[in-house]
Amino acid sequence: MSTVGTDRVKRGMAEMQKGGVIMDVVNAEQAKIAEAAGAVAVMALERVPSDIRKAGGVARMADPAVIEEVMNAVSIPVMAKCRIGHIVEARILEAMGVDYIDESEVLTPADEKHHIDKTKFTVPFVCGARDLGEALRRIAEGASMIRTKGEPGTGNIVEAVRHQRMMQSAIRRVQAMSEDELYAEAKNLGAPYHLLKQVHDLGRLPVVNFAAGGIATPADAALMMELGSDGVFVGSGIFKSENPEKYARAIVQAVTHYQDYELLAHLSKNLGQAMQGIDLATLREEERMAVRGW
């Protein structure tokens, strides 16, 4: 007897990605560069987030032909994004054999009220979160992996730092609570009690917790590890830099050796121009992706 799609299999897949870098790619050539640099997975997209920002309009699931091209090019896992609440885009990605689905705020939400019931799927999901309550709501819906939202496509780390800081400080606070305080805290956070109890007992989320949204340099990636992330997603940061191969290699090594500062200095040398960043103060409220979802 064998069983597919169990929590252990779905969450376990994310456990295997820990200490690794997941890179956004838009074609086979980029996917191969990512794999050769030591990426643990690639996220197949039609456009990286900074180009999604520029293009404007409604951002949807990528063309399946692009995703297939990437799946055929590499042997590492391939992830793809569907819109928040878009059950059918998710089913299409699952049917294609995508290894992990990102129900992502980078795309335009399809449902303003409901996220996908991810417990119904065999394929695992990763979801973005800004704080502990949001993370636990996504886990209750069946997310097997959490990432910070950050502010995608900006090359600006400040929001990812804010989100991971909020998450980690809330986890420490919950861990220190007495058991009878957890009921009220569950209400405060809008999070299911049984998941909050797990956070209290484990001192961390019950699933893997990555950083994403604004990572542009090896030092940014190491910073997110320092703040307690299990690994990082890099979106525009690699293929919008001057030298994607160098950035990809350096960021992979920076995540493994995030506390070896001499090595980080060496890894940060002569990389060429990082991606062009955006000061968040210049973004209009409706241009912010992190506020999508609840």
Partner 1 sequence: MRIAVIAVQGAFREHIAALKSLGVDAYEAKRARDLDGADGVIIPGGESTAIGKLMREYDMLDPVRELARAGKPIYGTCAGMIVLAKRIEGEDTVHLGLMDVTVRRNSFGRQRESFEADIEIPAIGEPPFPAVFIRAPHIVSVGDGVEVLATYGDRVVAVRQGNLLATSFHPELTDDYRLHRYFLDMAQAPVAH
Return residues touching partner 1 (CB under 8 A).
Answer: 1-6, 8-9, 12-13, 15-20, 35, 38-41, 75-77, 94, 97-100, 122-124, 252-253, 256-257, 260
Considering beta carbons, is residue 108 or 243 the nearer one to partner 1?
Answer: 243
Considering beta carbons, is residue 107 or 126 the nearer one to partner 1?
Answer: 126
Nearest to 144 by CA among 2, 285, 18: 18
Q: What size, in residues, is the chain? A: 294
User: Residue 23, Cα to own-chain centre: how many angstroms?
Assistant: 10
Considering beta carbons, is residue 98 or 129 the nearer one to partner 1?
Answer: 98
Quick check: 137 and 173 in contact, CB under 8 A?
no
Considering beta carbons, is residue 52 or 101 the nearer one to partner 1?
Answer: 101
Smallest gap, in angstroms, from Cβ of residue 12 to partner 1? 5
Considering beta carbons, is residue 59 or 250 the nearer one to partner 1?
Answer: 250
Q: In whole angstroms, what is the distance from residue 213 CA to residue 153 CA? A: 7
Smallest gap, in angstroms, from Cβ of residue 139 to partner 1? 17
Residue 81 bears catalytic tag:
yes
Quick check: 21 and 252 in contact, CB under 8 A?
yes
Catalytic residue among 18, 54, 81, 118: 81
Query: Which residues, 6 or more positions from 106, have their beta carbon under 8 angstroms from its beta carbon?
Result: 49, 52, 59, 81, 152, 153, 235, 289
Query: Which residues, 6 or more positions from 278, have their beta carbon under 8 angstroms from its beta carbon?
Result: 153, 154, 155, 156
Name the β-bridge partners of 232.
21, 211
Smallest gap, in angstroms, from Cβ of residue 157 to partner 1? 22
Q: In whole angstroms, what is the distance from residue 241 CA to residue 225 CA? A: 21
SS3 state at 101: strand
Report, as residue numbers or ranges, the catalytic residues: 81
